[in-house]
Structure 1
Amino acid sequence: MFPDENGIDGWLRYAPLSSELASQFKRYGNIIALRNDESSPVRTAAKEIQHGLKRILNQEANIGHDLITGSQVEGPATIVIGTVNSFSHAGGDVSHIAQLKEDGFWLHGDDYDNVQILGQNERGALYGAFAFLMLLAQGKQCPSAHVSNPSAPIRWVNQWDNLDGSIERGYAGPSIFFRDMVVQDDLTRVSQYARLMASVGLNGIIVNNVNSHHDLLSPRNLAGLGRIANAMRPWGVRIGVALFFDTPKILGGLSTSDPLDPGVIAFWDKITAQLYQHVPDLIGYLIKANSEGQPGPLTYGRTLADGANMFADALKRHGAGVVVYRAFVYNHHLDESNWKNDRANAAVEYFKDMDSLFEDNVLVQIKYGPIDFQVREPTSPLFAHLRKTPTIIEFQVAQEYLGQQSHVCYLPPLWKTILDFDLRVDGKPSLVRDIVSGERFGWNQSGYAAVVNVGSDSTWLGSHLAMSNLYAYGRYTWDPTSNEVDVIQDWTRLTFSSHSTVVDTVTSISMESWPTYENYTGNLGIQTLCEITKTCHYGPRPDAADGNGWGQWTRADAHAIGMDRTVATGTGYAGQYPVEVAEKFEKVKTTPDDLLLWFHHVPYTHKLKSGKTVIQHFYDAHYEGAANAQTFAPRWKAIQGLIDDSRFQHVLFRLVYQAGHAIVWRDSINEFYKAKCSIPDEQGRVGNYPWRIEAESMDLTGYAVVPITPFEAASGGKAIITTSNDKPGTAKYTVPFESGVYNIAVNYYDHLGGTSQYKLFVGGQLIGEWAGDLSKVLLHDFSDLRDGHSATRITFDTVHVNKGDVIELIGTPDGTELAPIDYVSFLPPGLVD
């Protein structure tokens, strides 16, 4: 048995190697750190290696600071950590060390097992130390003459933490940075987070939500930001802040926030000076403006460049920080009746003519796709329009539209569709990864940002498996050519175990997870078909995409579906790409099927390259995706006993939940589009559920039948709720199926407002009881309605049932949650209804 773990160390557990494997390593007796300041990453690296050696090899090593030159034939091996310059100044030979970029490192093990870890700077030395330790933790020897350089200088995280302690898109508990409108007193978790970031080469963080609050800049919080910077600095992580554009009016009492107003300029100049007093190594500002109702320079009749340059000038006067201006600028009150309107066009329309107008310390941060972290989008064409203004690509580790960490969804395969895409700027190779690295256009400042929603839960992200995305994000910012299988295998060995069954199981589930999720949510480029008009962005709600001004439209009607984004007849979006790419997307026959409905409005009967019609592909893909999701939990059970039980059960619970919610997704999407187009499923599955007993058809006492809105969120469009909020209800039905062994699934709604209690009897025997408490367990955004967000399922396996037995469900309501039930399924083993 393995001792239970809570996930706090992430992939930095440093689990002991087996005695056989540990015996292959020489004893490391001395660690020479060529710097000893408290805040120095070199000192941090030395202490980390000391800790890692103790954990992995059970070796005690002393830390010193005087370099011993020459090879050591006998006795303990020595590990030297420092910069190339400090090593040279101490008498070391650096003539054989290859050229290092900023933050790069040299890792070298000699014939006597002595190790050199030398960085281009102190951060690089720390990154090299982590590289050494993570190899050691996997039982791998230190390489000889290994040079590692990051792909881009900017490798940042964007926290969406609010001052009140909540986190926008936070699915792992409250903030580790803020509480009650101020910076927290205890920043222990902040230091632990910086350690995780540094281990995968992340060097900067915006600590607060892009939807910022003016109180961030109060005197108390300015001092608090200084404490956050102090907590993260030893790990080589520098901080920056997101600013609210109208702060001069609200906090400063000015009549305007016009970026050209002298008083406004003076206000930001003063704030910037104060920030640098507390955070002398401030990385800069992140600005969200004129987006989703936020004020910005356009509010005052100025250009976006005017707004960015105001902040840039203030930073230049006081330090070396940069302004990162988000390209997420769009009108969310678009008129859907105008066929030419298209939110996807917005970024290029706003920024394409501004390339030469920004100050040299301004970067534009661009979401990987033109909408908003959808399950599949084309690469944003804005990357092809900015040649002089450096860019940052924005990814998301927070799974906002991608299962919110309650569904496993390993994201590197999605990221690679973007990073490997060739935009063919000026007819030349222009891979996105080469643009954001700065290589394609010769930039010195560019790179990566990701929205990350770590919270106070010990798992950091609310799910142990979700942490693979944070680890992988760091790996991909360092090397965007990384192999996604290698990355998940390394993470698994570090996080769980090197046992082949564990590695193979986690790898296979993870690698299948994104295509599986895409299949049962939204495919063919139609986007994630979830609720977008409310904050949930979680469960199925296909009708929410249309009939509003948000611009995430599908344009689905009774005959056809998809956005016409062609130049010839549509919104013109395809023409925003360079010619070679635009020509491919302009035509149906040359557009890949996985983006067909993104670029083209086609009949449901349109034949795909597979030979299937669009609507049959929808039906089949949703069934295939939901069916594969059913396999995740059984496959996970193969590793029981090979890892600790706490984390095993944590993941198992979520995989079982995902399997049930995948069925909700499948039925909701398929029923909706079948009703929309009136074209039946060729295989007769949609709307035909022979193993189901609808709750509304049962014998009810203390229960009443209610319609569900939207209709597709319930099997048959109806469910039952108790007639009282303090008395139980009973639903009974005589089993019509042949006697045998069944898996019994109960679909019900677990929404905010209470914790209902349920009991299931078959033939008078209690089969199981449970509570409607998922909102307390899963932590993702929950609904207070009976809908696709709250619809869920519980399954009781291998129940012996006799034909004619009475099934009895007793639901006890709590608060406004009236023990709602949708249906019961009797499933022969191996069957997915």
Structure 2
Amino acid sequence: MIALFLVISKGFCMQDQGYGLWFDYRPVTENTIGYTTLFQQVHIDPEISNKAVIQNEIELAAFGMLSIQPEMTEASSATLTIIRYDRLNKELLQAFDVNNISLKPEGFAILPGSRTVLITALDDAGLLYGTYRFLQRIQSGAIIKNLKEISNPKVKVRILNHWDNLDRTVERGYAGSSIWNWHKLPEYKDPRYTDYARANASIGINSTVLTNVNANALVLTPDWIKKVKALADIFRPYGIRVYLTARFSAPMEIGNLQTADPLDPAVKKWWADKCDELYKLIPDFGGFLVKANSEGQPGPQNYGRTHAEGANMLADALAPHGGIVMWRAFVYSEHDRDDRAKQAFSEFVPLDGTFRKNVLLQVKNGPIDFQPREPFHPMFGAMPKTNMMPEFQITQEYLGFSTHLVFLPKLFEETLDADTYRQGSGSTVSKVTDGSMFGNALTGMAGVSNIGSDINWTGHPFAQANWYGFGRLAWDPYLDSATIAREWLALTYSQEPAFLDAMTPALLQTRETVVKYMTPLGLHHIMNAGHHYGPGPWIDQMSRDDWNSVYYHKADSTGLGFDRSSKGSNATSQYAQEIASLYNDIKTCPEELLLWFHHVPWNYKMKNGETLWNSLGITYQEGVDEVANLNKLWQDQKKYVPEPEFNEVSMLLEIQYKEACWWRDACMTYFQKFSHRPFPEVMGTPEHDLNYYKSLEFPYAPGIRPKWN
């Protein structure tokens, strides 16, 4: 029997603390909607491989939402029929007009009749996704006639990247330790692994990378591959393929070779043999994610080879098995004195057309590093002959960890909707992502996971929305974040219009709020060093220039900001001319990116009529005020939310308010050193002096990268 959500002592369900996520199947109001009728007789295609999984989900949902036990029948004329398209009989084809729908692999159709529903798909995965979507619509209160939905995934590889280490620490993880208990695997299979697979399948995620991009070669040894196999076996019925991070120097570290040169025949053979070993135990193994020649990780450049030569060597080893390589473009060298924002573009774009067809170049949403706001990465659309996938960070490394409420699908949407102009107007990042811009068959979207061992999976209850939202956008990168926010709120808390009307716009505002009190007007990378917890615009003693905050904001007596215009580092030249012209001119550059692209005088007059200095303080204060308003709004939602989660969010909002004030005061106090201007009246005077803020230390902040790699 597949695991049901766990229960702790004295009858207190872990759903009440968020374990149930967005599919905890709370009771729904029957009224005249006729849900009970739908579950009277359920027919599930007996020929599909995941029949037991689908049946279990139907039974859990029917019992949880309606307190009924559905009757399973072999008759295809049931009230709910879940059947593969190629097995539809003539009666079903005619009754539901199925001939007029278009289905693709993993896609599904939900077709309602008067008192019946048909769910059909080309394959078993599609039937599972259709079932989950059907149950979500029921849980959201949709009436039967409005259940119709035909949906095909627009992206092929929809993947979570876990930055989990083999010792169960999680780099940039803020929700406890890793959920992978490697010590007990392969024999002990935690029921949570099944619930993890259920959660991902429920939003269309079909792949997972189990290990950190700062890789440990040990996971590729025989005993560890057996542990990976145990997880792959659990995930398989849910349509989820397992990937691993490949440490480029593994042939030397665990293979006793003297080199890892990708052109060396012995190295090629070692990786080919390793792939044979992996696929023998895990026939649907997905492939490798690789971080190479970045932040100390080994790579092909160690041997004078290109990224393409390194990626292609691994791609050739995987190709006979149908595997792929996801090669990260997050590179910046301490030996390159040019603007860090330019380095990935400069290094990879000249290699366009040299990567194998089973290589996906994985590109962060912006050119620096998952900042609260960045312009879209200039590589999007600039490599028409190369498969490319965006990488988003679901975990909140730079956005307040798991103590700040930030709805990240708004950030993801901002990138996906950005127009690259690479093929004229309308050449959005979404069209790069789904392959439609250049006709790429291999497509993907990656999200750095925010999942950990905390009861509620993600640390902050509302951080679940970021996992959910990533999955929905990976399925369809054209979805709008408002739809996703309302969906998640209805599934997780309440369908009441008063709750949804209040909380949906509030949720959509949270990302902008965080930008305001952390990095307004295009500021970036001004967090504290190492752990990245809290403000640190004064950081200037790190071993590399581009690890220091002062490198990015360049505050001086004349002004603030990094000049990336044609008069500065000329990073704007890496964009299409339409974008470059917009960013180059201080008058047309969007103010939310002004300090990203320009060094702006303190007395520069902004669109609000205020000077840059005053606008900076006003914007910081707006962010603080918006957190206070969110807290007040949340207090009015108590009747809609389980008490444990309501109290948890309330306490976290208090922390967020305190830390928003900290960001405002620390940054403005520091920048005043250069502006020599009084603080804007609206923000008042900071509580402490600069020495106090600089003296704060946090040696045990979570998510710091382990020393061993």
- Pair 1:608-2:600 in alignment: no
Q: Deviations over 1:258-317 (max 9, x none)?
A: 001111111111111111011111111111000011110001111111100000000113
Q: Deviations over 1:165-206 (max 9, x none)?
A: 111111111111244597683332221111111111111111
CA distance in 2, matches of 1:301, 1:588: 41
Comparing 606-615 with 406-415, greater Cα deviation is found at 606-615
Residue 436 of structure 2 is aligned to residue 439 of structure 1: yes
Partner deviation per Cα, 1:428-463 (whole Å, 9 max, x = no partner) = 531110111011110111121100131111111111
What does residue 22 of structure 2 align with? 11
- Whether the 8 Å contact between 1:198 and 1:235 is mirrored in structure 2 is yes
Q: Are residue 571 (structure 1) and residue 566 (structure 2) matched? A: no
Q: CA deviation at 1:21?
A: 6.0
Q: Which of 672, 676, 693 is the matching residue for 1:713?
A: 693
Provide the rounded CA distance (Å) in 2 between the counterparts of 1:711 and 1:63.
70
- Specify the alignment match of 1:47 in structure 2: 56
| Letter of the 1:632 counterpart | L
Q: Report deviation, 1:493.
A: 1.5
Which residue in 1 is equivalent to 2:330? 328
> For the residues of structure 2 that align with 1:144 and 1:682, how far apart are their CA atoms?
53
Describe the SS at the equivalent of 1:466: helix
The answer to whether the Cα contact below 8 Å between 2:618 and 2:682 also exists between their aligned partners in 1 is no
- Within a 5 Å distance, the mapping from 1:40-439 to structure 2 comes to 40-64=49-73, 66-69=74-77, 78-87=79-88, 95-111=98-114, 113-142=115-144, 143=146, 145-180=148-183, 185-317=188-320, 319-332=321-334, 335=337, 341-439=338-436
Partner of 2:517: 520
Q: Distance in 1 between matches of 2:241 and 2:476?
A: 21
In structure 2, C-alpha distance between the alignment counterparts of 1:684 and 1:189, rounded to whole Å? 49
Question: Which protein is richer in strand relative to its size?
Answer: 1
Take 2:475 and 2:680, find their aligned partners in 1: how far apart are those partners?
Answer: 47
Distance 1:50 1:684 in 2: 57
Amino acid at match of 1:16: P
Q: Is the 8 A contact 1:206 1:241 kept in 2?
A: yes
State how far apart, in whole Å, the 1-side matches of 2:291 and 2:573 are. 27
The alpha-carbon deviation at position 14 of structure 1 amounts to 0.7
Q: Structure 2: which amino acid aligns with 1:550?
A: D
**Given that residues 287 and 325 in structure 1 are in contact (C-alpha distance below 8 angstroms), is that contact kept between their aligned partners in structure 2?**
yes
Spell out the pairing of 1:299-698 with structure 2 (5 A cutoff): 299-317=302-320, 319-332=321-334, 335=337, 341-531=338-528, 533-534=529-530, 536-544=531-539, 548-550=544-546, 553-567=552-566, 569-683=567-681, 685-687=683-685
Question: 2:379 aligns to what SS in structure 1?
Answer: helix
Tell me which amino acid in the other structure corresponds to 2:85: V
Whole-angstrom distance in 2 between the partners of 1:332 and 1:41? 50
What do the CA deviations read for 1:535-592 (whole angstroms, capped 9, x no partner)?
Answer: x11201112278742266111122221111122x211210001111111112111211
Q: Give the letter aligned to residue 492 of structure 2.
A: T
Contact 1:34 1:87 in 2 (8 A): no
2:360–2:444 Cα contact (<8 Å) kept: no
3-state SS, counterpart of residue 310 of structure 2: helix
Find the aligned partners of 1:189 and 1:299 in 2 and give their Cα distance: 40
Q: Which moved more, 1:264-273 or 1:536-545?
A: 536-545
Which whole-Å CA distance do the structure 2 matches of 1:631 and 1:129 have between them? Answer: 39
**Residues 229 and 282 in structure 2, CA contact (< 8 A), matched pair in contact too:** yes
CA 587–91 in structure 1, closer or farther in 2 if over 3 Å, else same: closer
1:721 — aligned with what? none
1:106-146, CA deviations, whole angstroms, 9 ceiling, x for partnerless residues?
A: 111112x2111112221111111011101111121344653
**Structure-2 change in CA distance of 1:684 and 1:315 (3 Å):** closer
1: CA distance, partners of 2:452 / 2:158: 20
Whose helix fraction is larger, Structure 1's or Structure 2's?
Answer: 2
Given the two structures, how large is their TM-score scaled by the length of structure 1?
0.79
CA gap of 1:393–1:35, structure 2 versus 1, over 3 A, is farther
Q: Distance in 2 between matches of 1:225 and 1:135?
A: 34
> Aligned partners of 2:679 and 2:147: how far apart in 1?
60
What is the 5 A alignment of 1:30-41? 30-35=41-46, 40-41=49-50
TM-score by length of 2: 0.92
Other structure's SS at 1:171 match: coil
Contact 1:367 1:380 in 2 (8 A): yes
Greater Cα radius of gyration, structure 1 or 2 = 1
Letter in 2 for 1:454: I
Q: Residue 510 and residue 165 in structure 1: after superposition, are their counterparts in 2 closer, same or farther (change >3 A)? A: same
* Distance of 1:311 and 1:781 partners within structure 2: 30
SS of equivalent residue, structure 2 residue 522: coil
Are the counterparts in 2 of residues 448 and 477 from structure 1 also a CA contact under 8 Å?
A: yes
Two-structure CA RMSD over aligned residues (Å): 2.5
Q: Distance in 2 between matches of 1:644 and 1:430?
A: 44
Residue 154 of structure 1: CA displacement?
Answer: 1.7
2:76 partner amino acid: I
Aligned-residue offset at 1:24: 6.3
Q: 1:453 to 1:643 in 2, by over 3 A?
A: closer
Residue identity in the other structure for 2:347: Y
Which one is further off, 121-130 or 135-144?
135-144
Alpha carbons of structure 1 residues 27 and 592: separation in structure 2 relative to 1, 3 Å: closer
**CA distance 1:278–1:634, change in 2 (3 Å):** same
Question: For residues 411 and 194 of structure 1, what CA distance do their matches in structure 2 show?
Answer: 22
Contact 2:45 2:82 in 1 (8 A): yes
Q: CA deviation at 1:483?
A: 2.7
Q: Which amino acid aligns with 1:54?
A: F
Q: Quote the residue 1:794 is aligned against.
A: none
Does structure 2 conserve the Cα–Cα contact (< 8 Å) formed by 1:151 and 1:480? yes
Task: Please say if residues 174 and 452 of structure 2, whose CA atoms lie closer than 8 Å, have aligned partners that are also in contact.
Answer: yes
Secondary structure of 1:107 counterpart: strand
How far is the alpha carbon of 1:752 from its aligned partner? 5.7
Deviations 1:383-440 (A, max 9, x none): 1211111111001110110111210010122222211111111435311101110111
Report Cα offsets for 1:608-661 as digits up to 9, x if no partner: 222222111111111111122122223212122432211111111101111111
Q: 2:37 aligns with which of 26, 33, 51?
A: 26
Change in Cα spacing, 1:604 to 1:181, as seen in structure 2 (3 Å) is farther
Name the SS for the 2:106 alignment partner.
coil
